[in-house]
Amino acid sequence: MAEHQLITRRRLLGLFGAAATLPVLSACGSSVGGGGGGGGAGGGTVKIGLVVPQSGVYAALGTDMQRGWELWLEQHNQKLGDYSVQTVIADEGETPQTGVPAVQKVLQSDGVDVVVGIVNSATALGVANLLAESKKLLIVANAGAADITGKARTPHIWRTSFTNAQISAAMGTHLARSGFSDAVYAIAPDYAAGTEVITGFTKAFETGGGKVIGQAKTPFGKTSDFQPFLSGIQASGAKATFCFYSGSEAITFVRQYTQFGLASSIPLYGSGFLTEGNVLPQQGDAALGVQTTLHYSDQLDTPVNKDFVQAYQAKHGEAPSCFAVQTYDAGNVLNRALRTASGLDGDAVAAALEGVGTIDDSPRGPWSFDGQSPRQSIYLRKVEKVDGTLVNAVVEDLGQQSQPV
């Protein structure tokens, strides 16, 4: 994403990026040290490497993730299972060129037992061999490329976030049964995540009997004037538009969609990152009525989420995002796994994760692992104004969804 796209917190939500595997830096030395501790009986210390962006254009997203991790530990006496936790934070930066060395550092120099975090999908894919050599486990708390827990799946990489197509497929199924038939136009940025999103949406929509009548891919990070693309939507005869934008592009697209006069005649739908976090107040009333799908909303009316939101707001003065929840839940599943794990090596922790069952105390609602990725509720959300504040109100729970195949 171009440097000129710097905006406020949680502005960069479209980082679910390139799925190409990059060369992996080889491990130095014959082994990687661990934090120490017994087996499932607990005791001792577990050392966690929290690898999230601390610099560059993705730093705000990394801040959300770090806050979610720290809140979980604060609420659980700084422990995972019976282990005391030592967290080592490393800067993932913006690209795999910085992210892969950051993971290498926490494994080799800091001797962590488990790695948590990762925004960039290519980084998650690029460290697979390094984790295997180190016999350590990574819990991905954001990166959404399907290959991470799909074609390139390894026993040492699990995720507590989402896949790009998981979010968009839920909207495809919903729109297919909502009377739009063959009259939906799809638009997204021209990069890996955009392609995965549109593919997931289209497959689900067409399986439900619909047909995408038009599609466009806009230059990623370079489009500030969407008028030519909006003209194409208008001329297509579409009854609805599905889009995937995030960050500053989401702000611009939603504003221009309304200014162009489309919002009143061709309703706008999208993956939830379109209106998630701090982009929403910057979109203003132009976002009213926009409907999205996502695995979380801070408006979820459950005791667990209300407590979570209250605690997060009290500490940080703003509502939590899905990124904070994803890392919060990384702590949750590690806590469960380390109660029974026979050791802290990757194989032992992975085996324990297989038995954690339903995570019934997550702010997002109950979920479970299915193929090392969450099977979770995806919510239909609608932008409404409540007491003068724009929110992503929950319209419907669309049910439990796994990673599409």
211-244 CB burial, b ≥16 within 10 A, e <16: ebebebebebbebeebeebbebbbebebbbbbbb
233 in helix, strand or coil? helix
Residues of the chain with pLDDT > 90, as a percent, come to: 80
Claim to verify: residue 397 and residue 268 sit in the same structural domain: yes
Same domain, 172 and 157: no
Q: List residues bridging with 370 in a β-sheet.
A: 373
Residues 197 and 277 in one domain: yes
Q: Give the DSSP letter of residue 284.
A: G
Q: Same domain, yes or no, for 139 and 260? A: no
The H-or-E segment that residue 368 falls in is strand 367-370
Q: What is the CATH number of the domain that holds 367?
A: 3.40.50.2300
Are 53 and 176 within one domain? Answer: no
245 neighbors 269 (Cβ within 8 angstroms): no
| Dihedral (CA of 197, 381, 370, 51) sign | positive
43 DSSP assignment: -
Predicted confidence (pLDDT) per residue in 284-316, tens digit = 999 999 999 999 999 999 999 999 999 999 999
321 and 390 assigned to the same domain: no
pLDDT in tens, 232-268: 999 999 999 999 998 889 999 999 999 999 999 999 9
Summarised one tens digit per residue, pLDDT across range 322-332 is 999 999 999 99
Predicted local distance difference test score (pLDDT) of residue 57: 62
Using left for φ > 0, alpha for ψ between -120 and 50, and beta otherwise, residue 142 falls in alpha
Residues 357 and 222 in one domain: no
Q: Among residues 121, 117, 162, 104, which one has the least CA distance to residue 15?
A: 121
Read off the pLDDT band of 5 (50, 70, 90): very low
| Mean local confidence (pLDDT), 177-190 | 88
What's the number of domains the chain is made of? 2
pTM score over 0.85: yes
Same domain, 141 and 242: no
Classified as helix, coil or strand, 312 is: helix
- How many C-beta neighbours within 10 Å does residue 374 have? 29
What pLDDT does residue 277 have?
Answer: 82
Provide the domain limits for residue 288: 165-294+378-401
Residues 196 and 325 in one domain: no
Closest CA to 249 of 7, 55, 52: 7
- Round the average pLDDT of the chain to a whole number and report it: 89
pLDDT digits (tens, 9 = 90+) for 28-85: 222 233 344 444 455 799 999 999 999 876 787 899 999 999 999 999 999 999 999 9
Predicted confidence (pLDDT) at residue 220 exceeds the cutoff of 50: yes
240, 328: one domain:
no
C-alpha dihedral sign at 140, 146, 149, 154: negative
